[in-house]
Amino acid sequence: MPLLGAHVPTADPLGAAAERDAEVVQIFLSSPRRWAGPNGPRADAEALRTSGVPLYVHSPYLLNLASPDPTVRERSQDLLAQTCTAAQAVDARGVVVHGGQLGKGEDSELGPARWRAALAALETEVPVLIEDTAGGPHAVASTVERIERLWTALDGLGPPIGFCLDTCHLHAAGEDVVAGTTRLLATLGRIDLVHVNDSKDVHGSGRDRHENLGAGAIDAAALAEAVRLADAPAVVETPGGAAQQAEDIAWLRARL
């Protein structure tokens, strides 16, 4: 069975893991909605490194390595580099980054090209885990085909690269979560992390609104099967506090 856990508050990840009976955690190392990077070393860095609880870091939401604005791309590269450095200090297993969006009317090939240029300039030992996004006509990594195109374009780069599957996003992008997971495994060779989220919205909505497991629009058996197929550490990013996320982890654990 894969390790199961949750995205938890930044202040006390290990305490939050215990509250949720989580075997793995994901955190932000800086505000998800600001350009400011991590503010110096964490006081609990040694505890995080030696706890035995695997840790993943989610980059700030503002990052868009595919942006049509060169200033946004430059700031995104700088913030990603800062986040990777801080992630290495806590021995994180990966830094999750959303695929991002192109500008209206831009050639779809520009997204993978901009990603390649950004990662070619990045120095990190922590894997960059590209996360699929919920959709939209300018999304770089929403459908399986777009994810495959981006993955192929990044072949041969120096920094370690992986993939983070979000079940809500795959559903919102119009993909079947089981068939989509199967196709991604066949193309990418592996999935490194799963964000296990149900969806408040119908299949193909393009909307990124997470729901607690079993309470949303994704078939419960399909949701569990996608996690089983991925065979990777899985974290919930579901609504509510510790109690509700603990219920989600228990829900998934029972079905696996």
Rounded average pLDDT over 139-148? 97
Average pLDDT, the chain: 97
**Whether the predicted pLDDT of 249 surpasses 90:** yes
What are the pLDDT digits (tens) for 105-120?
999 999 999 999 999 9
Task: Compute CA distances 245 → 9, 71, 87, whole Å.
Answer: 12, 38, 24
Rounded average pLDDT over 205-226? 98
CB-based contact 252:213 (threshold 8 Å): yes
**Whether the predicted pLDDT of 136 surpasses 90:** no
Rounded average pLDDT over 226-247? 98
Percent of all residues in the chain with a pLDDT value above 70, rounded to a whole number: 100
Task: Compute CA distances 170 → 95, 103, 175, 210, whole Å.
Answer: 19, 22, 6, 12
Q: So what's the pLDDT on residue 191?
A: 98
Residue 224 pLDDT class (50, 70, 90 cuts): very high
Rounded average pLDDT over 37-60? 96
Round to whole Å and give the CA distance between 176 and 131.
17
Which residue segments constitute the domains of the chain, with CATH numbers given? 4-255 (3.20.20.150)
What are the pLDDT digits (tens) for 154-198?
999 989 999 999 999 999 999 999 999 999 999 999 999 999 999
Percent of all residues in the chain with a pLDDT value above 90, rounded to a whole number: 98
Query: What is the model's pTM?
Result: 0.97
Q: So what's the pLDDT on residue 242?
A: 98
Residue 135 pLDDT class (50, 70, 90 cuts): confident
Q: Mention every residue, 6+ apart, whose C-beta is less than 8 A from residue 202.
A: 217
